[in-house]
Amino acid sequence: MRRRTRKQWYQYHLAKAQEDARDVITSVYSQEIERIRGVQEQAWKAFTKARENEPVKSKLLAFFGPESQYRIEILTPLKSDLAVADRALSDALERQRQRLEEATRQGTENYLEAREQRRQETEARDQRVAQREYERRLRYLEVSPAIRSAARPLKEHIIKQQSEDGLSVTCFYCHIVISAGASHLEHKRPISRGGTNSRANLVLSCAPCNLRKARKTHEEFIRELGGGAP
């Protein structure tokens, strides 16, 4: 089979969904229409036969004016039966036509809904995959032996976690708000004293706090800050 483009696939599946919806209606209505068509056929046969069998006397009479008994009692009632049957058939066909149109719309709606749901599922799955990839990368960075270069993407991560727009963050120690660009990635336990890039060991601080803390551990620095407080 020829390769289909995306658009062709879309049209193909859409047409299929519409057809499925129409098939349901067709099968529901076909029996009823078959029955009504049968009635109409009988009425038509009866009327045609009665017209064929009309006596010459009756035809002549009608030609010159008054309706014959044959016309009044036989032909006219059969003709009106036929008209009723014709009407019933065309009504039924019209109902079916409307239902089919509705079914086409419904089929379109069903298809678009299913398609949207598939799209959302795919998107959600892609997001989960991306999230897992991201998490895997962070875990790798946390234990990477290239401890200095791994720190940068980890800092980006922590900034993203702290601030929606990634523009401003809060110093972990003095709580002032600083621009993300000016913040320092702070190891609570300094690398020089065995600290790692583990996310539990990383915070953001302002430059003065970071410089003041220097090689102290987080606990030592907090103690110093507390002691220095008025």
Candidate ranges 48-56, 84-92, 149-157, 172-180; the one touching Zn ion (CB under 5 A): 172-180
The least CB distance from residue 178 to Zn ion, in Å, is 8
Size, binding site for Zn ion by CB under 5 A: 5
CA angle (130, 132, 135) in 5-degree steps: 110
How far is the C-alpha of 119 from the C-alpha of 141, rounded, in Å? 33
Measured from the CB atom, the residue of 174 and 182 that comes closer to Zn ion is 174
The least CB distance from residue 168 to Zn ion, in Å, is 13
Candidate ranges 39-47, 55-63, 199-207, 214-222; the one touching Zn ion (CB under 5 A): 199-207
Measured from the CB atom, the residue of 114 and 174 that comes closer to Zn ion is 174
* Phi–psi pair at 179, nearest 5 degrees: -70, 145
* Cα Rg, the chain, nearest whole Å: 43
Measured from the CB atom, the residue of 92 and 171 that comes closer to Zn ion is 171
How far is the C-alpha of 67 from the C-alpha of 49, rounded, in Å? 19
- Does residue 174 belong to the site contacting Zn ion (CB under 5 A)? yes
**Residues near 87 by beta carbon (within 8 Å), at least 6 away in sequence:** none
Q: Which of 21, 141, 159, 206 binds Zn ion (CB under 5 A)?
A: 206
Q: Looking at this protein, which amino acid is placed at residue 200?
A: A
- Does residue 182 belong to the site contacting Zn ion (CB under 5 A)? no
Spell out, one character per residue from 52 to 91, where the chain touches Zn ion: x when CB under 5 A holds, - when not: ----------------------------------------
Contact 185, 151 (CB under 8 A): yes
Q: Which of 78, 173, 180, 184 binds Zn ion (CB under 5 A)?
A: 173
Angle between helices 147-162 and 76-143 in degrees, nearest 10: 140
The least CB distance from residue 183 to Zn ion, in Å, is 9
The least CB distance from residue 162 to Zn ion, in Å, is 14
Contact 204, 183 (CB under 8 A): yes
Measured from the CB atom, the residue of 169 and 209 that comes closer to Zn ion is 209
The number of beta carbons lying within 10 Å of the beta carbon of residue 17 is 21
- Does residue 209 belong to the site contacting Zn ion (CB under 5 A)? yes
Measured from the CB atom, the residue of 203 and 209 that comes closer to Zn ion is 209
The least CB distance from residue 173 to Zn ion, in Å, is 5
Interior/surface letters 76-97, b for 16+ CB within 10 angstroms, e for the rest = eebbebbeebeebbeebeeebe
* Phi–psi pair at 197, nearest 5 degrees: -85, 15
Chain contacts with Zn ion (rule: CB under 5 A): 171, 173-174, 206, 209
